[in-house]
Structure 1
Amino acid sequence: MTTDAPLDPQILLTGFPGFLGSQLVERLLDRGSGPVACLVQPKYRDLAERRASELVEADDRARIRLYEGDITDPGLGLDGLDDLSSVTELYHLAAVYDLAVSREVGEAVNVRGTEHVLDVAEELDVDRFQYVSTCYVSGRHEGVFTEDHLQEGQTFNNHYEETKYRAELLVQRRMAEGLPATIYRPAIVVGDSETGATQKYDGPYYLLRLLLAQSSALSVLATVPGAAETELNVVPRDFVVDAIAHLSRRDDTVGEVYQLCDPSPLSVPRFVDAVAEAAGHRTLSVPLPKPTVKRLLRLLRARGVPAEPATLDYFDHPTRYACPNTRRALAGTEVTCPPFESYVDHLVAFVREHPTIRDDAMV
């Protein structure tokens, strides 16, 4: 059965068929928005076609329009914007989600790419600009970091954080000039809280896969100084997408920043314990200097063991995240961040059932 959706797209979204973008398109269609125009890199066209076919039936296919382009090009690499003149809302999710990204790639995609998307938003004169940033624009800020913080003189763990910080600065400057925008800052995003489904194994998944590569009778992990005082702020994909879908449809969220983080995150030791318990592994934590652990992780990675030295910086991360704006805005709704212990079993089960998923970023 076909829908009565208008022929011209009302929404333009970057970041399809990515991890968050794919599910957000589904939420937007479920709430009656559409058609949705998705900017897709040519090399991901086939994957985007498959994702689109999973989201809509064949006779409803016009609700998702795929446009080949690239945010690293001015004008998004499109042959003009005439086909998108009906767009009133732009969701910008495309970015390099890779802690080990080079400065050059991070600059091209996260910074200049965002500037190009902002330029298109202004050329289309959109009514709403929805931007997905990250809590880790905080860098290594000492203490609590809220939605009101941004330029705090912070240092950064990696080029990913720094380029996302610089990208958000661009968005906030356009907001100050009158762009009707909303900014969302997810914490560390993992799989779905009900199914465990994810698109790639990065971030905390390195810890889980390192455990699963060892004997359940005794798995050895390293711990670094400061880990006991560090919070690991993890959120499931469905919470992030549900929050964006809900907040983006409200007029009172224009001009606001929302941190989509866990208001009650686990400390690193408690997080490790929760993952180990869900995996059924007995663990031994060995205290080692951080440089030593990074060298070990590099050796493991060279030997084909899932490991990423850049993740270690989040095990002594000095920042704690608070989300007063988000909590006020979502009060009284059904959109809440579930506690990590309530869905970690699903994450573990998914990894065991899908061992071949990789950690490659979509670039």
Structure 2
Amino acid sequence: MGVVRDPTVFLTGFPGFLGSALLERLLSRGDGPVACLVQPKYADVARERAREIAANVRGTESESVGRIGSDDDADAVETVSDDGDADAIRLVEGDITDPDLGLGDDRDALDAVTELYHLAAVYDLGVERDLAEAVNVRGTEHVLALAESLDVDRFHYVSTCYVSGRYDGVFTADHLREGQSFNNHYEETKYRAEVAVQERMAEGFPATIYRPAIVVGDSETGETEKFDGPYNLLQLILAQPRLLSATFTLPNSADAELNVVPRDFVVDAIAHISARGDAVGEVYQLCDPAPLSVPAFVDALADATDHRTVRLPTTMGIATAATNALDRLGIESDPHTFPYLDHPTRYACPNTTRALAGSDVSVPPFESYVDRLVAFAREHPDIRDEPMI
């Protein structure tokens, strides 16, 4: 039996799309053991994914995955990893919407935690207000309370560039409270959650904030777990004849940018920046410094699908109403995507560029991997846009 150490890293948002990839990066660089907060309904998925990640990191199927707080020995795999440590990944059942995260007696097993990564959130443009409030705002407050009680050395919070709302101009890491309006409850509640983190940062709390732009699949494999956002444009094109497919364009689309980044860039950037001591107290926008305009983005999708497209000029109201007709034709389309086709905000990330200088982490051009996103979407038509809640 190997040496069983208490977890030193705590992660929320597992087994989600970003959380799963980040867990693998953290273990690969030698962090941990890592305790992952998992909702009970996702326990089986989390256990299987943890085994896969552990095997990938150490290159062996005998890697260790433990479960804190289980009285059922069948629920825990207590084998020894090749570096002599047992239980590199601990799965802790709980929920950030509970004031104590639902940890109960398991809270005592986290006393050695010095670093906390908070990724759990409702990533859904159409989320209802009450759910967004419970998860994104109060959930973040609950995780902050845990981090403060643990007196962690580092708190890493994954926000979003779209705390900007519909800010008219260039939005940087120095911007936050700008009197902006918001496209939806997701943006507004992520904004309020970041305000809570920044208020504590101003008091000396050792936090780092990461603001990804619109996250799509992996740039190497195209893999994703959810078709939403830009994927609605892709699905609209794929559902139509190859020789003539129609897309919408709004009056201000030509001047709008669609800032998209692949999952691997976001995770690699967080892993790299989180290892820097000088990142404490900083905000980093993980965006594309040279994004495509909305028309150019649609053209890139059309080229990758080999569809001849025509853009139909329309208004927001007509485009939204048209989704009902599309649904009757069996073509899925999400009206919550349309406000991003004339989004007035542009994003800048000079401090992120400086922090990543000298590393091998950079944003690949969308045109360099869009064909992989399209191939994955075609190969996995059953993936839907439901968030992990």
Report what 1:134 is aligned to: 160
Q: How does 1:323-334 map to 2 (within 5 A)?
A: 323-334=349-360
CA–CA distance in structure 1, aligned partners of residues 282 and 103 of structure 2: 30
Query: Secondary structure at the residue paired with 1:77?
Result: coil
CA–CA distance in structure 2, aligned partners of residues 27 and 35 of structure 1: 13
**How far off is 1:314 after superposition?**
0.3
The Cα offsets for residues 72-129 of structure 1, whole Å up to 9 and x where unpaired, read as 0011011141011011100000000000001100000000000000000001111000
Code of the residue aligned with 1:10 in structure 2: it is: T
Report what 2:149 is aligned to: 123
| Alignment counterpart, residue 68 of structure 1, candidates 93, 109, 122 | 93
**In the alignment, does 2:42 pair up with 1:44?**
yes
TM-score (structure 2 length as normaliser): 0.91
- The structure-2 alpha-carbon separation of the partners of 1:302 and 1:99, relative to structure 1 and needing over 3 Å to count, comes to farther
- The structure-2 alpha-carbon separation of the partners of 1:48 and 1:304, relative to structure 1 and needing over 3 Å to count, comes to farther
Q: How does 1:172-183 map to 2 (within 5 A)?
A: 172-183=198-209
Report what 2:197 is aligned to: 171
| Alignment counterpart, residue 27 of structure 2, candidates 13, 26, 29 | 29
- The structure-2 alpha-carbon separation of the partners of 1:5 and 1:341, relative to structure 1 and needing over 3 Å to count, comes to farther
Report what 2:75 is aligned to: none
CA–CA distance in structure 1, aligned partners of residues 349 and 217 of structure 2: 21
Code of the residue aligned with 1:76 in structure 2: it is: L
Query: Secondary structure at the residue paired with 2:338?
Result: helix
Once superposed, what is the RMSD of the aligned Cα atoms?
1.2
**In the alignment, does 2:143 pair up with 1:145?**
no
| Alignment counterpart, residue 241 of structure 2, candidates 215, 218, 222 | 215
Contact kept in structure 2, 1:301 and 1:308, CA below 8 Å? no
Gaps of 5+ in 1: none
Q: Aligned pair count? A: 361
Contact kept in structure 2, 1:216 and 1:281, CA below 8 Å? yes
Q: How does 1:173-252 map to 2 (within 5 A)?
A: 173-252=199-278
CA–CA distance in structure 1, aligned partners of residues 173 and 145 of structure 2: 25
CA–CA distance in structure 1, aligned partners of residues 43 and 324 of structure 2: 34
**How far off is 1:299 after superposition?**
3.6
| Alignment counterpart, residue 318 of structure 2, candidates 292, 301, 307 | 292
CA–CA distance in structure 2, aligned partners of residues 314 and 70 of structure 1: 31
TM-score (structure 1 length as normaliser): 0.97
Code of the residue aligned with 2:37 in structure 1: it is: L
Code of the residue aligned with 1:182 in structure 2: it is: T
Report what 1:283 is aligned to: 309
Query: Secondary structure at the residue paired with 1:352?
Result: helix
Contact kept in structure 2, 1:5 and 1:35, CA below 8 Å? no
Contact kept in structure 1, 2:51 and 2:63, CA below 8 Å? no
Gaps of 5+ in 2: 56-60, 65-86
Report what 2:62 is aligned to: 59
The Cα offsets for residues 151-208 of structure 1, whole Å up to 9 and x where unpaired, read as 0000000000000000000000111112100000000000000100011111100110
- The structure-2 alpha-carbon separation of the partners of 1:298 and 1:95, relative to structure 1 and needing over 3 Å to count, comes to farther
The Cα offsets for residues 296-346 of structure 1, whole Å up to 9 and x where unpaired, read as 124424654221101000000000000011011111211100010000000
Query: Secondary structure at the residue paired with 2:382?
Result: coil
